[in-house]
Amino acid sequence: MNITLRIILLFIILTTFSKNLYSYTLYYVGEVESRVYNDAWSQFFDKKIKVYAGASKEDATIGLSFDMSLTEFTVAYRFDYVNDKDLAKNNFFNDLIYSLNKGIEWSQIAKDNSAETQKKIKVDLCNMTLEWEGVYCEATFFSANQGNQTDFILLVKEDGEYSFNEDKFYIDFNNQKKLQDILLNQVKDKLLYSLDQQEKSADLFN
């Protein structure tokens, strides 16, 4: 395949993806608090992680927006709708939920047993942003102070040869449970709301 044909195919793929990705609105679902350590200031800063969701009759997107040190961007999880508007599996999202559930489970164990540890849970929890840029995520569990401090640490890193945008988001026990509820429960309601809004808009122009 010559280079001209490759460029044309790449343009078609990116154009199609972009059109599908932005063919519906992503609505705000909720947010949690986290902490990010700044090496320059040698201290932690509070950072919000915001969740958005939207859908059409063909597909849906759940977005996690991170306030990074260099810029803010949204990690995207895309799904296909199947029968009865169920979401087809997205392995990256499933791994994120698994890791979050494990973080909550281990947080309770650490608190109950005054245990201290640091252990990686899972890698490759994401692969793209809303802008179709590469991104890498991994999850680590951390407990200290005899189990009184427990964190689900989410590493978010832009995946590019010359990219330096990388942060670790420390999410405490209460915010872990809040994020779990947002991703497993509140998101579903917002996806149905998104579909309802599209249908109402379509009815206006029949």
DSSP string, 104-120: HHHHHHHHHHT--EEEE
Write down the pTM of the prediction: 0.85
pLDDT for residue 206: 67
pLDDT on residue 71:
82
How do the residues of the chain divide into helix, strand and coil, expressed in percent and rounded to 5? 35, 40, 25
Q: Which amino acid is at 164?
A: F
Identify the pLDDT of residue 4. Answer: 53
Instruction: Kindly state the tokens that stand for 183.
Output: 């991703």
Q: Which residues of the chain have pLDDT under 50?
A: 5-21
pLDDT score of 112:
97
For residue range 103-147, list pLDDT tens digits in order. Answer: 999 999 999 999 999 999 999 999 888 877 889 999 999 999 999
Do residues 169 and 66 lie in contact, with contact meaning Cβ atoms separated by under 8 Å? Answer: yes
**What integer pLDDT is reported at residue 40 of this predicted model?**
86
**Tokens 């640490």 sit on residue:** 153
CA distance 37 to 17: 35
